[in-house]
Amino acid sequence: MITGDSLDSIESTILKIIKPAIIGLSIENSERVFSTINKAILHNTSAKAAVDMAIHDCLGKRTGLPLYQLLGGYKNRLETDFTVSVNRMEEMVGDAQSLIKKGFDTLKIKVGNSTIEEDIERVAGIRRAAGDNVKLRLDANQGWSPKEAIAAIRKMEQMGLSIELWNSRSPHGT
C-alpha cells in the first residue's frame, strides 16, 4: 500500500526487467549487480528489495557467513522496536503501556494520517505514559510533507518529547 506495488507488479518487475539485466553477473561483485538493477528501472523498491535480500542470502550461504558478519557487523543481535498503530490517543497510550509491561523499551509510533496537532498530542500522551527511559520513534508513512515533518519535529523538540528518530518519506522521494 505504501509503495504502490502489488505482488503481480513485483513479480513482473523481477522476471521481466531485473532478471534479464543481471543474468550472467557475478553476485560476488554485488555492487555492480545493485548498480545494474538501479539503472534498469526507477522506483519499484519492493522488487529491488526482494532481489537485494536474495543476493545477500546467496552470498551468506556461499561464504558460510551469517548476514550480520557479511555486512561487516560484529553483533549477532539487534535492537528493534514495536509499533503503536494509529488510533484514538487513549488507545495508543494503552497499547504503549501494554508493550512497555511486556519489556519493550523502544516504540515506533505511527503518525501522519491526521493533523500534525493531533499527531503531536498522541506522541505527547505516549511520552507522558512511557516516561523518559523508553525510546520513541515516529513513522509518518508518507503522511507528512518535508515541511510538515520539520515543523512537527521542532514542536516536539520544544515540548521536550525526546524523539529518537523519525521517518517521513514523501511519495515523491523527498
DSSP readout, 64-96? T--HHHHTT---S-----EEE-S--HHHHHHHH
pLDDT in tens, 77-123: 878 899 999 999 999 999 999 999 999 999 999 998 889 999 999 99
- Find the mean pLDDT for residues 141-167: 89
Helices 30-40 and 45-63 meet at what angle, rounded to 10? 170
Span(s) in the chain for CATH 3.20.20.120: 82-167
Q: 82-167: which CATH number, 3.20.20.120, 3.30.830.10, 3.30.1490.70, 3.30.420.40?
A: 3.20.20.120
pLDDT value for 166: 65
